[in-house]
Structure 1
Amino acid sequence: MKVAIIGVGRMGAGMAVRLRETGTEVVVWNRTPAKAAATGCAVAGTAREAVAAADVVLVSLADDAAVRSAYDGPDGVAAGLREGVVVVESSTIDPETVRGVEPLVTGRGATLLDGPVSGSIALVEKGQLTFMVGGPAEGVDRVRPVLDLLARQVFHVGALGSGAIVKLSINTVVLGLNQALAEALVLAERAGVPRETTYEVFANSAIGSAFVSYKRAAFERPDEVPVAFSLDLVAKDLDLVRQLAARVGARMPQAEANLGVATAAVAAALGDRDMSGVATYLRTLSGEL
């Protein structure tokens, strides 16, 4: 199968490189051409050009506005689609956004799935992501040969939009864990226990988990570890959670509190820091840097 990837941020670039290394023919497009070239894949000048010969299109963009913009217009994704193509929208966005662009895709005889992912860049490099996919089962079956190169697990979770809903639910938990971990670590530091000592206990206690292990270096050495997921995206995702909760009538006091902290951290010029930067923000409130 020929694959087009629209958007090569951290996750999109990781998927492009992984597919290229498995021998898949990949064409990429990104608003910043230099990022596209860095993947080592063929680079298209427009989204329309990228998808023109593709069997599968993977879209991985930062936010809802970028997604809407990428699909529409004479040089957009929809304009280049052929009948029978499957588009997998893997961005973390509002389920209403993916439903909103569906007519642009189906109007070209193609199929749209929402398939956001759970997992780190290290996991995409190993082909061990988790996809949660919403949309027609027939479309999921057709795209599995590509997703199986990227993922350890592919879940078909329901109709279009269901993937986005499950992803926001997962991120609610992940970002809650991140907030709790940051608060607990700073508490111990302020009380005189070195963060490395505290984290060693965390990792080997009842709270030890894949997340605690994965984020260890970022929490212990925040100025040395590359950003995996930035605080501005944390705030964006928690705001999407807030909007979804308001629409369906779900009360989410912890998510609301976490959104307040993330928004304040971004306002304090920490938006480009890793999500573990919540601890850095809490230290500034305590008078420490």
Structure 2
Amino acid sequence: MAAEVSASKVAVIGTGRMGAGMAVRLRESGADVVVWNRTREKAAATGCAVAQTAREAVAQADVALVSLADDAAVHAAYDGPDGVVAGLREGTVVVETSTVDPETVRRVEPLVAARGATLLDGPVSGSIALVEKGQLTFMVGGPDSAVDQVRPVLDRLARQVFHVGPAGSGAVVKLAVNTVVLALNQALAEALVLAERAGVPPETTYEVLVNSAVGSAFVSYKRAAFERPDETPVAFSLDLVAKDLDLVRQLAERVGAPMPQAGANLGVATAAIAAALGDRDMSAVAAYLRARSG
């Protein structure tokens, strides 16, 4: 497996928390990695070769992983004379790992195909700690042959790679997964504040939750963020929570799916951002609820 990964040149477009984690993991596993980011310092911090433009980064790549914050950033990175599309060569597979609207994937896909390359939408589920261990979950949409082509690279990053359907399907499943994750976050925050207001310390409540029927991987790994928010790095900001829940809302409206809980959670996230908590971790929903309850 290591030899297969080493034989592939991998471009990583976007070195935010997840993109940087993937670039470092691939470099340490033996891949030849080149990165690009709008802020060069973030790209250089990965220890990988740094390209001047997205076009330059993908020009010699067999596989390109794109990890950006939102749909606008994705469109900006693909477009223009220095964008991803301009640099693609025939046979390259682009894996769009960003959490975006499925329609964004479907708009970008023909631009990539026109260059003789293939686009997969392959968003991920998992924390930075999991990418460092190579234990992410990929939800991939696109043709079978391209999934097989990139699997040696994805297997270095992932515990599981699910091929969920044609292009756009990965983005749909990621929004479904995040609907559950963000609902769990909201429920955790509410439960802890409820018990705290009723006189039970949140640490005591959390210990019971972790070891109860609702215990899960998410409940366990968010414990430090809820119990020691000032000491725990931000893993998923409330700004991104609201962005993802708005994508869920838009998709639900298009397909006619009722999403009352997701709508309520979006309202809370939006209110927390208005209370200047947007750059805080998603666990700061608890701080917002405490403030509301006096």
TM-score, normalised with respect to structure 2: 0.97
1:75 to 82, 88, 101: 82
Structure 1 unaligned blocks of 5 or more: none
Corresponding residue pairs, total:
287
Encode CA deviations 1:92-117: one digit per residue, 9 max, x unaligned. 00000011011210110000000000
1:86 to 68, 82, 93: 93
Cα displacement (A) at 1:207 = 1.2
Over aligned residue pairs, what C-alpha RMSD do you find?
0.5
Confirm whether residue 142 of structure 1 aligns to residue 158 of structure 2: no
Aligned to 1:218: 225
Cα displacement (A) at 1:222 = 1.0
Q: Secondary structure at the match of 1:152?
A: strand
Encode CA deviations 1:48-104: one digit per residue, 9 max, x unaligned. 010011000000000000000100100000000000000000000000001101121
Confirm whether residue 193 of structure 1 aligns to residue 195 of structure 2: no
Encode CA deviations 1:154-199: one digit per residue, 9 max, x unaligned. 1110000000000000000000000000000000111111111111
1:12 to 12, 19, 35: 19
Aligned to 1:162: 169
CA distance in 1, matches of 2:266, 2:288: 13
TM-score, normalised with respect to structure 1: 0.99
Aligned to 1:124: 131
Q: Secondary structure at the match of 2:156?
A: helix
CA distance in 1, matches of 2:124, 2:288: 28
Aligned to 1:56: 63
CA distance in 1, matches of 2:136, 2:246: 24
2:281 to 258, 262, 274: 274
Aligned to 1:100: 107
Cα displacement (A) at 1:238 = 0.2
Alignment check: 8 A CA contact 1:37 1:43 kept: yes
CA distance in 2, matches of 1:55, 1:29: 15
Between the aligned residues of both structures, percent identity stands at 85
Alignment check: 8 A CA contact 1:72 1:104 kept: no
| Structure 1 runs, 4 residues or longer, greater than 6 Å off | none
Confirm whether residue 39 of structure 1 aligns to residue 11 of structure 2: no
